[in-house]
A and B are shown apart, each in its own frame.
Chain A
């Protein structure tokens, strides 16, 4: 069915989401909670008013960046699990820059803080890239280990250099480095929505062109498909590996920077790695690495996450049930291959009958 392949591309994820919603509803019904009320709270909680939309888009902002980072690395054939650590280093660097150079003029301070975040994330991933290129170390192991180093290093730095006396968090960043503005807060009824979304959307376009339309992107894809062939074709595979990891880490670092400058506006002693790293991986996998698709799968994630919080506020459904339902929906979207086959069979049968 060559003419319907485009239709299928839209139909498959749509059916997956629907199937997830239906199974989620069954789960809620089995445990005695009202699925209709809960789905209504989920959607109104994520999209129902300006505040909700603001929070959903804010949730989406860093997810796009960490997902783009993951997809760049996987284009070049690596599994970069270190997104969380790279984001944390980016967060750390951007907040430190904002606090230490607070006397800089507004735009310079903001730009500097954002760049510091990207740079720190890039360097952090670059370590794994260099190890991979020159020593053949598995990037899966090194990025996981670098995650832990990032977590505890950031705690150490916050505790010893940034935290005020008797506290576990840094000062709030100066006004000039904020991505949130009074205008946006007013517009979205005090949500944490911020201008970081512009950075994310620009990066979607940049990454799309980088991979599809440039020599660098071509090299990434070539190395990802077969590094020996790429080497034979005269590409500097070592350079490609390192550059792909650095770009991947820089994007994750940007994700951390928008969290630090847009959402939290400080950095604190963390008890676990920021979840934008791992959620970004899921978002990227759902979109099969497609930059445009990442916007939509990220939006789905954000709606479920922010809307999910409303379910337990409005009804007595425990948050654990909400987590099960959300996981079910994501699960069905994840196994969309099965749904694709199912739909194909269905349409064939109908055609014969």
Chain B
């Protein structure tokens, strides 16, 4: 008897939950209306608050929404966060089912999933950032010439170092990050061949502790400027530099992807020398607008470089002479006097 009562209670409450759930789903379907163009992005491993790539993309999409008076959510703009790569395809499918007209994949990891979906849904526009999907009419590929901004970061480092030793800390050793490394090394060597560049990879974009210990080792080896292209791992580089700067040591970090001046701030100064910015946000905003106006560049690869300000080196705390040198090299790259290779040797 007693167990029967418990079962009855459980079933009753289960039924209640399901009934209420049913009501909720009806409310939803009336709210979902389609507009001319709605845009959503799928993040790679990192979240939209990764202080880097995904955040920049999301900020661009938010700016687009504001510009065109769309609101966040179905019919406007939104993001789908992926906690692991197996979420990419379900996320893309869910966004398409929610009638988003343009779907952006942020990061090379999402490439195959976007490529597959673009074949299955020919009436949806797709964008892939940091990778190329060739010959697909509804996909626009976005690439950044980050080796150019990294070259300028190398110039800035070479003009700033007192010890003639600088360091590079990368996240995962991938082609994209190796482009950063290659550009940086070329920039340093262009200023002074005798400056040594110490290259280390953390093997992860999310290990701040590892970033800190790599940076600690580099700084204690008298390398006084570190360029980090390591996403969340790079936060540890800032922690290390700020700790040493507080003790009176003169050390610098060059930030990546976004202007990282705020990350270098400590009580009494700032360790961010400059930031090699990659305007993912501008690209996102630009392509969303093109899709809205009906001239989506499907099938094309769009390259952003120093010339069109898709990549740049933001001056955070550079000396006047260093800045002058950086600008001089910038002109040379834009003119084509210097061509920067994306290949690390």
A: which residues have CB within 8 A of B?
A: 1, 4, 7-8, 11, 14-15, 18, 21, 34, 36-41, 43-45, 51, 55, 59, 151-152, 155, 159, 166-169, 172, 185, 189-192, 259, 263-266, 268-269, 271-272, 274-276, 306, 309-310, 312-316, 319, 323, 343, 346-348, 350-351
Contact = CB atoms under 8 A, between A and B. Distances in A.
Given A36-B20, A169-B112, 10 more contacts: A264-B85, A269-B172, A309-B80, A314-B32, A315-B28, A316-B73, A319-B81, A323-B83, A350-B5, A351-B2
A280 to B, nearest CB: 13
Residue of B74, B79, B87 most packed against chain A (CB within 10 A): B87
B331 interface: no
Q: Which 8 A-B pairs have the closest CB atoms?
A: A40-B24, A36-B24, A40-B25, A37-B24, A319-B81, A347-B2, A168-B174, A40-B21
Interface residues of B, number: 59
Nearest to A189: B93
Interface stretch (B7-15, B243-251, B273-281, B303-311): B7-15
Interface in B153-200: 171-176
B262 interface: no
Nearest to B19: A36
Interface of chain B, main secondary structure: helix
Contact of A313 (B80, B84, B121): B80
Nearest to A315: B73
Interface in B200-215: 203-206
Residue of A59, A275, A309 most packed against chain B (CB within 10 A): A309
Interface string B81-96: 1011111011101110
Given A272-B204, A343-B6, A312 B14 contact: no
B2 A350 contact: yes
B2 A168 contact: no
A11 B98 contact: no
Contacts of A166: 175
B87 A309 contact: yes
B97 interface: yes
Contacts of B81: 312, 319
Contact of B90 (A11, A55, A155, A185): A55
Contacts of B204: 271-272
A259 to B, nearest CB: 7
A91 B247 CA distance: 48
B108 interface: yes
A39 B19 CA distance: 11
Contacts of B78: 312-313
A269 B47 CA distance: 19
B10 A18 contact: yes
A59 B86 contact: yes
A55 B172 contact: no
5 contacts: A37-B24, A155-B203, A167-B108, A190-B120, A313-B78
A18 B13 contact: yes
B86 A263 contact: yes
Residue of A15, A21, A190, A265 most packed against chain B (CB within 10 A): A190
